[in-house]
Amino acid sequence: MRILLVEDEKKLAALIKRALKEALYAVDLADNGEDALFSAQSNPYDLIILDIMIPGKDGLAICRQLRKNKLDTPILMLTARNDVEDKILGLDAGADDYLTKPFSFPELLARVRALLRRKKNDKSSRLKVADLELDQVTRKVYRAGREIELTATEYSLLEYLMLNSGQVLTRTMISEHVWNDDFDAYSNVINVYINYLREKIDQGHPTQLIHSQRGVGYILKDK
């Protein structure tokens, strides 16, 4: 899953980005309003974490503009403003949630997971396709009850496939949601990681779950 982090405090931005990457999210960073607005409207992010007090357009103005432009990406406001009136302004501007500084990283990650689940209209943190299960909290994966060890990139790719099970995903869609903005979608890296997943997920099982759609992309389905 790919997240846009908008934060101009360099030290805090680095800490948040590291925490998100350790939680296996792809993260792009913007430190001013103009760059944030451009990135949010140019890339298909799964979530935007938006500070209010940033150079240029502030977070409230950005949020209003994105909603005016019909962008429905979940937005988590992250700010030092903790008055009730400020929270109301943020939520009325179109934010989905509001977290004040200072905050704990476990709470931030929990709110991120909740917003991503809400986007998919799913209250459960456990994804399941046939006998394949993925727990988004523990980041553990099981096939037929047996735990499967995955690398960070393999996990991120599988999570995206499972969140969109039954849907054909193009190479561009996969690169945009699993890798960050410096990834070359025309390299063979996606093919390589799909093959890694097939070896770990499908090998030895009568039902193959990961399928190729020739000339289009990939789909995870149980039939």
Helix (H) or strand (E) holding 50: strand 47-50
Residue 3: which of 168, 113, 93 has the closest Cα? Answer: 113
Cα separation of 56 and 77, whole Å?
17
Which is nearest to 57 in space by CA: 84, 83, 39, 72? 39
What pLDDT, on a 0 to 100 scale, did the predictor assign at position 181? 65
The tens digit of pLDDT for each residue in 129-163 reads 999 999 988 889 999 999 999 999 999 999 999 98
- Closest to 159 in 3D by CA, of 189, 117, 188: 117
Give dist(CA 58, CA 52) in Å, integer: 5
* Residue 126 predicted with pLDDT over 70: yes
How far CA 81 is from CA of 96, 98, 100, 178, in Å, comes to 16, 10, 6, 32
pLDDT at 5 over 90: yes
| Sequence ranges of the domains in the chain | 2-119, 126-220
Walk across the sheet containing 140-143 and list its strands: 126-129, 132-135, 140-143, 146-148
pTM above 0.75, yes or no: no
CATH architecture, range 126-220: Orthogonal Bundle (1.10)
26 CB burial (10 A radius; 0-12, 13-18, 19+): buried
Could you please state the CATH topology (level 3) that the domain comprising 2-119 is classified under. Rossmann fold (3.40.50)
Tokens 């499972």 belong to 162
